[in-house]
Amino acid sequence: MAKTASAKKKPIKKTTLKKTSPPKKTAARKRPAPKPEPEMNKLIALAAAEFALEKKAAEIKILDVRGITSMTDYFVICTGTSDMQVKAIAENILTKLRERGVKPWKSEGWDALQWVIVDFVDVVVHVFGETARKFYHLERLWADAPMEIMEDKPVAKTKRKTKYILGVGC
């Protein structure tokens, strides 16, 4: 008879595997963009108003709301006489400021074109249609804010000598 070697079996310890979630990805900390100087915000507001004038916007007002709210520094409010003009004014402001390195945080109102808002964080541009401007009347809401009115400068007429028109003396 052959002896069979009986090997003692060591008991296997059962280890429970803990369910571990994959390592959490730590969000890369974004450095906040350096806050422009207050003078720079004023220049951005003035530039937005000038770009609105290029597209014949009416009733352009710059409201300095720094002393009233911490939400923004300036509101630029202007009016277009039609949906197409509202769109043209807003697009002109948006593209010209982007070309100069000022990028908007958000813009809204492109569907209805009655009130387009272009938010540059420290400067918020409101381009209204005529009826929406009369209805919301933001100037009254922010009446405590100092206001600057931008107007299109009329081109000075030069005196023309009309002595000879088409070679004919007058």
Residue 170 has a pLDDT of: 46
Q: Is the pLDDT of residue 115 over 70?
A: yes
Range 93-99 average pLDDT: 94
Nearest in space to 52 (alpha carbons), one of 169, 149, 161 = 149
Q: How many residues does the chain have?
A: 170
Residue 79 pLDDT class (50, 70, 90 cuts)? very high
| pLDDT band at 39; cut points 50, 70, 90 | confident
Query: What integer pLDDT is reported at residue 21 of this predicted model?
Result: 57
Determine the Cα–Cα distance for residues 144 and 84; give it in Å rounded to an integer. 32
Mean pLDDT of 124-150: 92
Q: Determine the average pLDDT of the residues in 152-168.
A: 53
pLDDT higher than 90, residue 166: no
Q: Domains in the chain, start-ordered, CATH in brackets?
A: 38-150 (3.30.460.10)
Q: Residues 139-164: what's their mean pLDDT?
A: 73
